[in-house]
Structure 1
Amino acid sequence: MQDISGKRVAILATHGFEQSELEVPLERLRGAGAEVHVISLEAGEIKGWDKKDWGRPVKVDRTLDEASPEDYDALVLPGGQINPDLLRVEQKALDFIKAFWTADKVVGAICHAPWLLVETGIAKGRRLTSYHSIKTDVINAGGLWEDSQVVTDQGLVTSRNPGDLDVFCKKLSEEIREGRHERRAA
């Protein structure tokens, strides 16, 4: 992992996030020196999904109403089937994600989280990967889907599944260290 001391990262999630897809990036990014906040729709705690059943709760650091994309250098979107499906119908969440992208900041999405990239229009014309069950959704949204562990495209970092988190976190820290990514039109 690259040293990203002094960088600030938001992890946007709600109930039903895949446990490892929030906890591993949170731990690794903090270990690399970043200040990381869990952002959610409501204050308190959000409960994860751990493979086949409900997992552990994670403390919410800020609500969407309290968080501003301007305060962060990067955004991480954990997957799980439930979490991105609940977030993609929340306009505040979609606006939050789009604000990172339009400001040329790093956006990382894991497993099912590229659904949020589809919903915000970010996927269109971009190289990315995702969990195989949403491949068609990504392609139908104009995404250039690849069957790879991790795909990076001008500050957009995506990964297939929880088994790819080591590579995902390494690439994410590299992109965060590089800073803003001026994006060519897709």
Structure 2
Amino acid sequence: QLAVVVVLAAGVGAVIRRTRFGRELRAVVDDRRLAVLAGVDADRVAAAGWAFGSFTAGLTGVLLAPYVRLDPYGLPLLVMEVVAVAVAARMRGPAVAVVVALGIGVAQSQLTRLHPSGWGEPLLQAVGANLFVVALLVAALVLPGVGTRDALPRPAAARVPAHPGAWIVAGVLFLLPLGLAGRDL
């Protein structure tokens, strides 16, 4: 399966960088109106992009079917993991996305090997199960430029100063369930 991912990523990277269709695709993604003004058939490019996206989604479903149950609870989490990889990779290209996905996958598998005792165990299980959320938060808070491209400026009146104790309250509310047992809920 990893070989399929590497071959597909290499193929997509080659098409995006070295073909006329790849240039048109990047132009439509960057600025659709400007691409149309340059003579690019944006509808054709978008349709081809959707078709390829549907193909890769179907291929992913076929490759994951033996390992992942097809239920309404697991698939949305899988979609969120894919979005987390795309955000953390900062849409740089297929190779970067594969490396980020492998990094998150290795981190998740390594976190399952740790078995601390006491209060750290539920926290570690929560972080391991939701590592994609951690990746999204790290990407949004640490990586420069994530979430700022094409962002509309906020009006000055919309900014409300945060109370200094708000972070403490949020942290306590976030960590509170870890201190409760099942019978306390």
TM-score class, shorter-chain normalisation, is under 0.3
> What is the TM-score normalised by the length of structure 2?
0.25
> What is the TM-score normalised by the length of structure 1?
0.25
Task: Choose between structure 1 and 2: higher helix proportion.
Answer: 2
Q: Which has the larger radius of gyration?
A: 2
Task: Choose between structure 1 and 2: higher strand proportion.
Answer: 1
Greater relative CO, 1 or 2 (CA 8 Å, sep 6+) = 1
